[in-house]
Amino acid sequence: MTEATEFKLKGNTHFGRGEYKQAIEQYEHALMTCPLSLAKERAVYFANIAACHMKQNEYKDAKDMCTQALKSDPTYSKALLRRAQANEKIGSYTAMSEALDDYKKLKAQANDQYTLKECTRAERELPIKIKVQMEKEKEEMMSKLKDVGNTILGKFGLSTDNFQFTQDPSGSGGYSVNFVNK
C-alpha cells in the first residue's frame, strides 16, 4: 500500500467520524505524497476534500476542489456531481447556471439511478431558480446604480427620481429617459 493510500484511508476514517478538518489534512497529505502521474487517484483525493467542505457548508471551497479534481480527471463523474451540488448551494445566478451545465454533462454519462434522478430534478428546477435569481441580482444592481446616481446627482439638487425610464415596447431591451421635475 502506498503512503498516499494510507493517508486516504486515515482521511476516510476521520470523515466517517465527522472529523472533517482532520480528514482534509489527511487527504492533503495524500495529495502531497501522490505522484502527479496518478491523475485518477489525485482526482479522488481532491473530491474527498470537496466532500469535507460540503459537510461543513463551505460550498465555494468544495467547488474549487471539485474543479481541481476535474482538472486531474475530466471524466470523474462524482466530482462533477459534487461541483454541481456545490454551485447549486452557492445560489448565485452564475453558480446555478454552471450547476445546470454540469448536471446536463453528467446526465449524458450517468450510470446510476441516483445521479440520473438528481440530474433530472436539476433540469426541472434550476431554470426557474436561475430566472428568479437573475431578476433578484438585476434589482440589486439597479438599486446600487441608483444609489451611486443619487450620490452624484445630489450635488446638483437632483435625484434619480427626477428621471423616468421607459422600456422600449419593441422588446429591443432599450430604454428612453425623460426628465421629470419633482
Could you tell me the pTM of the whole model?
0.81
Boundaries of domain holding 66: 1-90
Could you tell me if 139 and 165 are in contact, meaning their C-beta atoms sit under 8 angstroms apart?
no
Residue 115 pLDDT: 94
76: left (phi over 0), alpha (psi -120 to 50) or beta: beta
Residue with grid cell 447556471, as numbered in its chain: 97
Strand partners, 82: none
Does residue 149 form part of some domain? no
Does residue 111 form part of some domain? no
Does residue 14 form part of some domain? yes
Does residue 40 form part of some domain? yes
Query: Which CA distances in Å does 8 have to 31, 40, 169?
Result: 9, 13, 60
Residue 1 pLDDT: 67
Mean pLDDT by 10 residues, the chain (182 residues): 93 98 98 96 98 98 98 96 98 97 94 93 96 91 85 85 81 80 72
Residue 3 pLDDT: 96
136: left (phi over 0), alpha (psi -120 to 50) or beta: alpha
Does residue 52 form part of some domain? yes
Does residue 56 form part of some domain? yes
Does residue 124 form part of some domain? no
Residue 16 pLDDT: 98
Number of domains observed in the structure of the chain: 1
Compute how many other C-beta atoms are within 10 angstroms of the C-beta atom of residue 30: 26
Residue 62 pLDDT: 99
Residue ranges of alpha helices (H) inside the chain are: 3-16, 20-33, 39-55, 59-72, 77-90, 93-109, 113-154
Does residue 42 form part of some domain? yes
What CATH number should be reported for the domain holding residue 31?
Answer: 1.25.40.10
